Each structure stands twice: as C-alpha cells, then as structure tokens.
Amino acid sequence: MKHTLSVLVENTPGALSRITGLFSGRAFNIESLNVAATLDPTLSHLTLVTTGDEFIIEQIIKQLRRLVDVFKVVDVSEGEFVEREMSLIKVRAEEESRAEILRMCDIFRCKVVDVSPKSYTLEVTGPESKLKAVIELLRPIGIKEITRTGAIAMIREKKTI
C-alpha cells in the first residue's frame, strides 16, 4: 500500500542523510522524496512516498520519529489530502505533431515553458495519475527527456501538521 508521509525535520547538515540512511539501512522503500524549507527557516518539510503493509508503515513512522532531528511525522494519506507533483517533459515537436501537442497541453492544462525548432518543453502539474496519463499520451510522439519533482502533499481543510 502506498503512503505519503509529511516530515518536519531540523534544517541541520546531515539530517536528510539520517533519513535516507534509515530507509536504506532498514530496507524500507522510498518511491519519491521532496525536501524544501518551510516558513520557519530552521525546519525543512520533507514529503516522502513509500510502500509497505501497516506494520512496515508503523515502523517507518516510529523510526523516523526516533531520529533526534525529526520534529514531526504525519501520514497524510491516512485522511483526506491534496497531492501534487510537477514534471518537466521535453517532447519531440516536428511539423506534424506540434499542433497535437498543443491541443493535449490545453486539455491537461500544461504549460509550454520552452520552445525550440524540434521540441517543446512542457510543465505538467497534478496528481500522479495525471502525470502518468500525460506521459503515456506523449510517449508515442517521442519524449526526449523527463524530470519529476516527486509528490508534495497537504492535509485538506483546517488541519496543519
């Protein structure tokens, strides 16, 4: 089962490596990992997507909390939450496909952020399912390169972590 964890961690050198080391050392999975500063510059917000049965997820959360640098861990996928991921996709854009790509952009509300004679670079934002759909549709046209941010997530409504 897939879980999205929000982790608030002290913004100190080595903190991220403690977290990734914990996952590799204890054979837990990381599907994606995203880190950036929060409003409070002494804390970083880390969004981590992982998989495992309930016992493994319980261990992951407990082990994360046990790290001296970890301030807070929440399994946001336990309740209602919003999840977004961004991707930059460089797609082959020859004469015959340029119009079709733009049409697809329109449907999926992607942005063209760079144009060259033979390619478009698209910015796609959305839940993972949408990114997957866009990638699948662009694949036959010819994807030259792709980068993804990994998911970031937030609990819905008034709650904060």
Per CB under 8 A, residues contacting other proteins are: 9-10, 13-14, 17-18, 21-22, 25, 55, 58-59, 62-63, 65-66, 68-71
- As beta bridge partners, residue 121 has 90, 114
Non-local CB neighbours of 84 within 8 Å, separated by 6+ positions: 125, 126, 127, 151, 152, 153
Helix (H, G, I), strand (E, B) or coil at 143: strand
Output the smallest distance, CB 5 to other proteins, in A. Answer: 15
Output the smallest distance, CB 70 to other proteins, in A. Answer: 6
Residue among 73 and 152 whose Cβ is closer to other proteins: 73
User: What distance in Å separates the CA atoms of residue 3 and residue 23, rounded to the nearest whole number?
Assistant: 14
Q: Which two tokens stand for residue 26?
A: 């204890």
Residue among 8 and 135 whose Cβ is closer to other proteins: 8
Output the smallest distance, CB 57 to other proteins, in A. Answer: 11
